Amino acid sequence: MIYETIKASLAGSYERAWDSFGMLVLELPVANIMPVVERLRTEFGFSLFLDVTAVDHPEREPRFDVVYHFLSPTHHKRIRLKVQVALAQPTVPTLTAIYGAARFMERETHEMYGIEFAGNDDLRPILLYEGFVGHPLRKDYPIDQEQPIVPYRR
């Protein structure tokens, strides 16, 4: 099976591997995200970048899990990669050099969680307006916080 081949081939690149509802999940250090993603694309056919998001664990350090999903049309399989980043420096490398579609998905994750994607030169807001204060999907975001009023742009 492809998952066993991937785990054996990438041994030493990840810290933990497990099955989640039939999908392989690899937890790896931030430093390994680029080489692992490149290998998944070139060696194993994970040519579709599906999503990047984050999970906020305010009670834990490192606080955030950055979660990536990829699909291999060749093998009809998905894979999930997880990296942990701290609140003090919530930065991961951008995947835009490998997957052009990452540009917009990284913008959304940056906007909602405050995760920086080093190398992505366009992290402008995509869902909220410019001038919005905070990151609304963080669990400590005050739900009743008033936002600054900005003039309507035509």
Which CATH number goes with the domain that contains 18? 3.30.460.80
- Residue range of the domain that includes 73: 2-118
Between CA 24 and CA 79 the distance in angstroms is 5
Q: Is residue 125 part of a domain?
A: no
pLDDT, mean of residues 3-8:
97
Q: Is residue 135 part of a domain?
A: no
**In this predicted model, what pLDDT tens digit does every residue of 125-137 receive, in sequence order?**
999 988 889 999 9
E strand intervals along the chain: 16-20, 23-27, 48-56, 64-72, 77-85, 91-93, 116-118
Element (H, E) at 109: helix 102-113
**In this predicted model, what pLDDT tens digit does every residue of 94-125 receive, in sequence order?**
999 999 999 999 999 999 999 999 999 999 99
